[in-house]
Amino acid sequence: MELLDIVERIGEAPTAAVMGLATGVVFGVAAQRSRFCLRAATVEFARGHMNDKVAVWLLTFSTAVVWVQAAQLLGLMRAEDARMMAVPGSWSGAIIGGLLFGVGMVLAKGCSGRLLVLAATGNLRSLVSGLIFAVVAQMSLQGILSGWRDKLAAIWITEGGRNMDLLAFFGVPKWGGLALGIAIALLALELSRRNRIGISRLVFASGVGFSVALGWVLTFGLSQVAFDPVQIESATFTGPSAHTLMFFLERNAVLEFDVGLVPGVFVGSFLASFLMGEFKMQGFDGPSTMRRAMIGAVLMGFGGMLAGGCAIGAGVTGGSIFAGTAWCALFFMWVGAMATDILLDQPSLRLATR
């Protein structure tokens, strides 16, 4: 059955939701099995190590770039048509939002995507933090915090009415993005070899990157056959968390890619953890941990919406199409996370070991 037949049978919006569900399930399974986590990678790096967590993050990022850039060369998608590229980006939003998100994910012990994955494995701390993240993201999108977000984002906007395409800006040939992705993947594989990471974990880490390409290709394909305009998008969790929350709260909410993505990740992660015997109910360790996680979730909700994406949306999905503000946001997420670990967590660890 061809895509057009599916669209004609169930409609464009349900098709987009099914695509989101498929993308989410692949992401959820792969992220749960690989233990992919930007927060863990930044903390490991801040403490002077390049072990398994950095290796897994680099492999996920690089394989996303490889899959997406290869899909572009094959004509399966066009990055310039993606909404992230077709609208102006905010440098100020990427910088401020990236820093806030980086701080928040260290406080909450996981980025928004990781919280969703952990929540599906029975982690109630992540479930509560994830719900707070979604509420604050919605407040930042259309609620009481939206004015502040708009003001901060408007300080420094990309020129030309579009986001910056880094490959075009630096005059890199079309195959250059694929070559860079392969180079980073080789570095990741060397780090994986040194840290003796098993083949299974490497396959699932690359599966997270594949899910990003899957989302791009599926939504691009839908845009080619749909009557109404379709957003070309992929895995991200700031906007989708807010949209999914409102889908269950509004009577007239409509299906879309986002509404399928978030439940898909939850289902995929739950199935992976349950089938492997890793599902386990967990709660907060104490009041201080709860306060810290809640503050982190608030910072991530506002910071992710301001930055134009979360650690996945900007850091991997936006990075895979070389959106300028996405790479900027990713850099400042690393800066914010490392600074928080160095200034807050590392001194506490040194005191505890004395």
Residue 133 has pLDDT above 80, yes or no: yes
Question: What is the rounded distance in angstroms from the CA atom of residue 16 to the CA atom of residue 230?
Answer: 9
Residue type, 177: G
196 DSSP 8-state letter: T
Count of CB atoms situated within 10 Å of the CB of 235: 32
- Estimate the crossing angle of helix 12-34 against helix 112-119, to 10 degrees: 80
The SS3 call for residue 187 is helix
pLDDT confidence of residue 228: 85
Enter the pTM of the model. Answer: 0.95
Angle (CA) 230 111 187, round 5°: 90
- Residue 213's pLDDT band (boundaries 50, 70, 90)? very high
pLDDT confidence of residue 209: 97
Q: Helices in the chain by DSSP H: which ranges? A: 3-10, 12-34, 38-46, 52-73, 83-86, 91-107, 112-119, 124-142, 146-153, 166-169, 176-194, 199-225, 238-247, 257-275, 287-307, 319-320, 324-340, 346-352
Instruction: Name the nearest CA neighbour of 332 among 104, 132, 156.
Output: 104
Residue 277 has pLDDT above 80, yes or no: yes
pLDDT confidence of residue 254: 82
Q: Are 262 and 134 in contact, with CB atoms under 8 Å apart? A: no
Mean predicted confidence (pLDDT) in 257-286: 93
Residue 122 has pLDDT above 70, yes or no: yes
Residue 351 has pLDDT above 80, yes or no: no
Max CA-CA distance within the chain? Answer: 67
pLDDT confidence of residue 248: 87
Percent of the residues in the chain that have a pLDDT greater than 70, as a whole number: 99
Q: Bigger pLDDT: 251 or 304?
A: 304
Long-range contacts made by residues 341-349, C-beta under 8 angstroms, separation at least 24?
341/42, 341/43, 341/46, 341/47, 341/106, 342/46, 344/106, 345/43, 345/106, 346/46, 346/47
Q: What is the pLDDT of residues 137-151, one digit of tens each?
A: 999 999 999 999 999
**pLDDT, averaged across the chain:** 94
Residue 328 has pLDDT above 90, yes or no: yes
pLDDT confidence of residue 255: 87
Question: What is the rounded distance in angstroms from the CA atom of residue 20 to the CA atom of residue 244?
Answer: 12
Tell me, rounded to whole angstroms, the distance of Cα 191 from its chain centroid.
Answer: 23
316 DSSP 8-state letter: I
- Residue 353's pLDDT band (boundaries 50, 70, 90)? low
Q: What is the CA radius of gyration of the chain?
A: 19
- Residue 352's pLDDT band (boundaries 50, 70, 90)? low
Angle (CA) 334 340 345, round 5°: 125
Residue 354 has pLDDT above 70, yes or no: no
74 DSSP 8-state letter: T
Question: What is the rounded distance in angstroms from the CA atom of residue 314 to the CA atom of residue 99?
Answer: 13
Q: Are 338 and 42 in contact, with CB atoms under 8 Å apart? A: yes
Residue type, 90: S
Mean predicted confidence (pLDDT) in 114-126: 95
Percent of the residues in the chain that have a pLDDT greater than 90, as a whole number: 87
Strand partners, 165: 323
Q: Bigger pLDDT: 175 or 1?
A: 175
Which CA distances in Å does 139 have to 112, 162, 253, 305, 306? 16, 25, 17, 10, 12
Which of the residue ranges 131-135, 163-167, 242-246, 262-266 would you say has the lowest mean pLDDT?
Answer: 242-246
Strand partners, 157: 90
